[in-house]
């Protein structure tokens, strides 16, 4: 059972609003995926131009680069995000006996991991290579696993704060932290030269789309019915 809201009842978007949001995310996500898969020259040129501009900065600023490596390898690492997600799932079950939202959060995180790895294998995009690399990464580039995982986990946590009626101050603070984390992890991946910018944008779009679909399906099939 959900605890009563503290500030105001959470508002659930209607089906038409959800459909519009999902479409607004799905269209550019699919378009970008196709452009990457078919190596559209203008996109490749833009990616290379941005990456080539950022890489010398990473080489010339070792202090900033080191800080970004700590953030991307420990704070915003996909496994750190999944561990946070697992902790929230345990909290939902132990503290609230909320099996349905716990299952939805866990399943969405697992689905996100499977989807990103499947797309990496299917598209097989090569990562940037540099004569003087400042970091390294494995597997294919598109979509960025860091960016997609951060978007999925942060999006789900913001949704849960709304569902459980967290105070407005907490929700706003969490939103600010989520924005910094999602944007920050994407920028660090490009700065460190291990992803093309479109890898990051693709991860953001796919992650946001997955959250929207997960929340919509929960509200449709698993949410407690209002009297």
pLDDT value of residue 18: 85
User: φ and ψ at 215, to 5 degrees?
Assistant: -65, -45
Cα(156)–Cα(207) distance, integer angstroms:
10
Q: How far is CA 179 from the centre of its chain?
A: 10
Tell me the whole-structure pTM to 2 decimals: 0.91
Residue 17 pLDDT level (bands cut at 50, 70, 90): confident
**pLDDT tens per residue across span 118-158:** 999 999 999 999 999 999 998 999 999 999 999 999 999 99
Q: Are 112 and 210 in contact (CB under 8 A)?
A: yes
**CA-wise closest residue to 218 among 119, 92, 134, 120:** 92
pLDDT value of residue 6: 45
Q: Are 192 and 134 in contact (CB under 8 A)?
A: yes
pLDDT value of residue 165: 86
């Amino acid at each position: 059972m959900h605890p009563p809201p503290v500030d105001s009842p959470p508002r659930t978007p209607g089906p038409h609003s959800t459909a519009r949001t999902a479409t607004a995310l799905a269209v550019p996500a699919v378009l970008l995926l196709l452009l990457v898969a078919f190596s559209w020259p203008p996109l490749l040129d833009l990616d290379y131009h941005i990456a080539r501009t950022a890489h010398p900065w990473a080489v010339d600023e070792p202090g900033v680069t080191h800080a970004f490596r700590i953030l991307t390898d420990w704070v915003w690492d996909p496994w750190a995000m999944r561990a946070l997600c697992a902790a929230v799932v345990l909290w939902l079950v132990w503290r609230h006996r909320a099996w349905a939202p716990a299952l939805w959060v866990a399943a969405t995180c697992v689905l996100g991991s499977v989807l990103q790895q499947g797309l990496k294998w299917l598209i097989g995009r090569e990562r940037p290579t540099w004569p003087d690399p400042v970091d390294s990464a494995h597997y294919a580039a598109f979509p960025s696993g860091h960016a997609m995982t951060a978007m999925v986990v942060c999006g789900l946590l913001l949704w849960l704060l709304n569902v459980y009626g967290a105070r407005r101050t907490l929700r706003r603070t969490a939103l600010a932290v989520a924005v910094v984390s999602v944007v920050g992890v994407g920028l660090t991946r490009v700065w460190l030269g291990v992803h093309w910018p479109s890898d990051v944008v693709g991860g953001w779009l796919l992650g946001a789309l997955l959250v929207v679909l997960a929340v919509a399906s929960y509200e449709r099939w698993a949410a407690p019915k209002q009297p």
